[in-house]
Amino acid sequence: MSLNPDLNGALTATTLLTKKILVAAGTQTGVGVDLTGYVGNLMIVLSSVGENTDGGATITYSLLDSADNTTFAALTTPTFAAVTSASSLLTVALDPKAVRKYVQFKALTASTTATFTTAAIMVGLQQRVGTN
């Protein structure tokens, strides 16, 4: 007998952006993630650590979506506040029914000198059919 009370799915964590280092005016974009089978809101967790001594360095995050995992367009929600602190941990919710089949994560720093290390994961309930 399974001890898992959820008979229809499994809590799944997926990497949106593996650990990346952004230097100066750098951009990092993750691969497309297929949202097929996810139910309910997904939680996106963003982490960044960087050298921000003057307060002028920022890192901004955005999500893009796509129907074919090739042509991506920026989403207007959820929104992420620009990060200006030396380290941050942000969480936002994403409704998989409100976006197309694939999502992609993007991080951008507008600094000329700062270095940020950043990563993002997505956690949600993904339906499993025929697995026991």
Rounded distance, CA 83 to CA 35, Å? 27
CA distance linking residue 1 with residue 75, whole number of Å? 43
pLDDT at 41: 92
Query: In Å, how far from its chain's centre is CA 36?
Result: 16
Q: How confident is the model over 79-122, as pLDDT tens digits? A: 888 887 777 888 999 999 999 999 999 988 877 777 778 889 99
DSSP three-state, residue 117: strand
Q: What is the spatial distance between Cα 63 and Cα 104, in angstroms, rounded to a whole number?
A: 6
More confident residue, 37 or 58: 37
pTM for the complete prediction?
0.79
Give the residue carrying structure tokens 């297929």: 34
- Residue 39, beta-bridge partner list: 125
Rounded to an integer, the average pLDDT of 43-58 is 74
Summarize the confidence of residues 19-47 as an average pLDDT.
Answer: 86
Phi, psi of 57, deg, nearest 5: -85, 135
